[in-house]
Structure 1
Amino acid sequence: MAEVWTIQRCLSWTQTYLAEKGETKPRFLAEWLLSSVTKKSRIELYLSFDQPLSAEELKLMHTYVVRLVKGEPIQYITGETQFRTLTIACRPGVLIPRPETELLVEEVLNYLDGKILPQTQTNKAVLPWNAEIEAARKAEAAAIEQTQAKDSSAENLGAESMSNHDGTPVCNVDIAHTETTVAADDADKQNTCRMARVLEIGTGTGCISLSLLAERPGLINCVATDIAPAAVELAAHNCAALELSGNQFDLREGDLIEPIRVDEQGQFDVLVSNPPYIPCNVMDKLPTNVKNYEPELALVSGVDGLDMYRRLIDVAPQMLRSGGLFICELYEDACEAAAQLCREAGFVDVRVIADLTQRPRFVAAYMS
């Protein structure tokens, strides 16, 4: 008689095995892999502890665990990751979205909400750290705790919560966007009716532009460029899979602003980018699952990590309207130097913005 592997048994075994292999978040990784294999959310796993895995599921789980232990990013193994409110498909050859980049989107939305978008139509952003999401996370955790309490062996299964790959909570409860009405503080805001125009350079999976479109539906047009054909293909796939308007996501293959028409220049409210920014001498210090698997083209940017940023500074004035926002994610040790480059190029109100770990991560500046 074939040995029976239930979801509970597989989860417990995988956690123990990954811990023995030196993984720092074995419970979280085991849940992520098993959720992908079974097509169940985390809470569904806990509610289905006694369900046997099929032979096909066991084989796939074994394959996934082997790949993970060899150093392959879990996002490539499962084929997806969570980014703000979206599930983003990931493929080898395209940079994996990072939690830090979620704040880059937030900065763009704050600017657009305050300066460009009709104040009576803007949606409140839904982030993993918003109150609504936190409430849902607590409700989910309570349900899981209740399920674990009923199971005699639950106390031995670990208590790590499901999270993004940086440890921030992921909520599997579907939270609808809520509408908020903000009184306009001046006549210009009240009369604003045009759509915001955003240019993203180096779109990768499309996570930045697609998040902007998802969180401000019908209010933004995004033109997104990338030099890598694999990235353009994946971004198009994500747009279709998320059922976001292709008319508002204008995806173009090419280097920097090469695909931008002359008549479009000077018409963008925002130029946003998460460019390559790793200094050459830092590359060898990166984790194996980054340096051995993710595309070097999307990672390394010269001796100080600012080679691509300098190119962006050169083209940004051609693209932006007066008062437009230029904002990039950068290597933490290079942010002050990047800010100075902006000042020297004539940008005003230059700011260095920290990420959630309080490390310098973004540089924002405005066209005079």
Structure 2
Amino acid sequence: MPRTEPWTIKRVLDWTSGYLERKGDEHPRLSAEWLLANVCGLSRVELYVNFDKPLEASELDAMHAAIERRAAGEPLQYVTGEMAFRHIVLKCERGVLIPRPETEILVDAALEGVDATKAKRGGEAEAPVRVLEVGTGTGCIALSVASERPGTLVTATDLSPRAVGLAMRNREALGLEQAVDIVECDLASGVDPELMGSFDVLVSNPPYIPTQVLREEVPAEVADFEPQLALDGGDDGLDVFRRLLDLAPAALAPGGMLAVELFEGSLDAAAALVRERAGWATVEVREDLTRRPRVLVAVREGQ
């Protein structure tokens, strides 16, 4: 970014938008706004009421570095280091999957499971609702459930040490240490054995993109920067889902809910896998806001 003077907020926004557009950014103005807001410590609205404010030299240097990272294709959330998800703001960093808006539908399903359990128990304070999340990443699902349904106890796991560390930092920033326990392990192998069979909801956004789709169809911004461990679901996208289906009977209480986000082309096969197994009372596939199949919800038999 040339250093001619004066570099006001408006001038930086306009220049950045044009530069990112030439670099192929699909939403260059939005990217410019988020980058500059992050650098200046302002909201996007505040940028527009401070158009004539010149940037300091340190802000220009930080903005230049951020622009080049974004121009190279790095996701905006990694560049700014944070993103909003439902009612919370999360720290984001490379090596950990970026939460997607469609995952909010998965949180809605998990909250339904929490509410249904509370209704069955008549709101008994001595019997808190327990949720197990497998593959927590940033902690977006676990922390949303805990913040939106106070009193719920969430156990969240992840195989990645980096994800566990980030989820813990997000938990602490939101003051949810007493509500969310974060465990580094494969699936639920590190969860307290005494809790197994007591969870009312098992929720997961596992790796679910079929390997061939990941190689040939996923945008470079995702495939080149986000962790393969959190993306690749095997040949049919259901490798981890099958393991979750094996885990569910041991983890869930009678009448408990399994809610899993999956690749749109894999959901019918996933539902068929559930129906093949005994012990499930219901199974359904739910669509996201774009009317694409997105979430499988299955409920165990029993009360």
Q: Do both proteins adopt the same fold according to a TM-score greater than 0.5, normalized to the shorter chain? A: yes
**2:288 aligned with 1:355:** yes
**Aligned equivalents of 2:7, 2:131: Cα separation in 1:** 50
Residue type at the aligned position of 1:279: P
Residue type at the aligned position of 2:283: V
The alpha carbon displacement at 1:192 in A equals 3.3
TM alignment of 1:11-90, pairs within 5 A: 11-90=13-92
**Aligned equivalents of 1:319, 1:109: Cα separation in 2:** 18
The alpha carbon displacement at 1:117 in A equals 2.5
Q: Deviations over 1:78-125 (max 9, x none)?
A: 001110011110011111111011111111112222x2236xxxxxxx
**2:245 aligned with 1:313:** yes
User: Which residue of the other structure, out of 211, 232, 249, is the alignment partner of 2:144?
Assistant: 211
**2:134 aligned with 1:201:** yes
Q: Partner of 1:99: helix, strand, or coil?
A: coil
Aligned to 2:118: 117
User: Which residue of the other structure, out of 79, 100, 104, is the alignment partner of 1:102?
Assistant: 104
Q: Partner of 2:118: helix, strand, or coil?
A: coil
Percent identical among aligned pairs is 49
Aligned to 2:212: 281
Moved over 6 A (4+): none
TM alignment of 1:112-191, pairs within 5 A: 112-113=114-115, 115-117=116-118, 188=120, 190=122
Aligned to 1:291: 223
User: Which residue of the other structure, out of 3, 6, 9, is the alignment partner of 2:5?
Assistant: 3
Aligned residues of 1:313 and 1:345 also touching (Cα < 8 A):
no
Q: Deviations over 1:328-365 (max 9, x none)?
A: 00000000000111111222210000011110011000
**Aligned equivalents of 1:69, 1:93: Cα separation in 2:** 19
The alpha carbon displacement at 1:191 in A equals 5.3
Aligned residues of 2:74 and 2:221 also touching (Cα < 8 A):
yes
Residue type at the aligned position of 1:203: T
Q: Partner of 1:24: helix, strand, or coil?
A: coil
**2:187 aligned with 1:256:** yes
**Aligned equivalents of 1:189, 1:248: Cα separation in 2:** 20
Q: Partner of 1:237: helix, strand, or coil?
A: helix
Q: Deviations over 1:45-67 (max 9, x none)?
A: 11111110011111111111111
TM alignment of 1:234-249, pairs within 5 A: 234-244=166-176, 246-249=177-180
**Aligned equivalents of 1:4, 1:116: Cα separation in 2:** 60
Q: Partner of 1:15: helix, strand, or coil?
A: helix
Q: Partner of 1:240: helix, strand, or coil?
A: helix
* Residue segments in structure 2 that go unaligned for 5+ positions in a row: none
**Aligned equivalents of 2:123, 2:263: Cα separation in 1:** 39
Aligned pair in 2 of structure 1 residues 191, 306: CA closer, same or farther (>3 Å)?
closer
The alpha carbon displacement at 1:253 in A equals 0.6
Q: Deviations over 1:286-337 (max 9, x none)?
A: 1111111111011001100000000000011000011100010000000000
The alpha carbon displacement at 1:36 in A equals 0.6
Residue type at the aligned position of 2:143: L
Aligned residues of 2:267 and 2:296 also touching (Cα < 8 A):
yes
Aligned length in residues: 296
Aligned to 1:221: 153
Q: Partner of 2:265: helix, strand, or coil?
A: helix
**2:257 aligned with 1:325:** yes
**Aligned equivalents of 1:206, 1:2: Cα separation in 2:** 43
Aligned residues of 2:135 and 2:187 also touching (Cα < 8 A):
yes
The alpha carbon displacement at 1:262 in A equals 2.3
**Aligned equivalents of 1:260, 1:21: Cα separation in 2:** 46
Aligned to 1:158: none
Aligned pair in 2 of structure 1 residues 320, 7: CA closer, same or farther (>3 Å)?
same
Aligned residues of 1:37 and 1:60 also touching (Cα < 8 A):
yes
Residue type at the aligned position of 1:271: L
**Aligned equivalents of 1:363, 1:43: Cα separation in 2:** 38
Aligned residues of 1:278 and 1:305 also touching (Cα < 8 A):
yes
Give the TM-score normalised by structure 2. 0.95
**Aligned equivalents of 1:32, 1:191: Cα separation in 2:** 42
**2:269 aligned with 1:337:** yes
Q: Partner of 2:190: helix, strand, or coil?
A: coil
The alpha carbon displacement at 1:2 in A equals 6.2
Aligned residues of 2:113 and 2:256 also touching (Cα < 8 A):
no
The alpha carbon displacement at 1:258 in A equals 0.3
**Aligned equivalents of 1:331, 1:25: Cα separation in 2:** 25
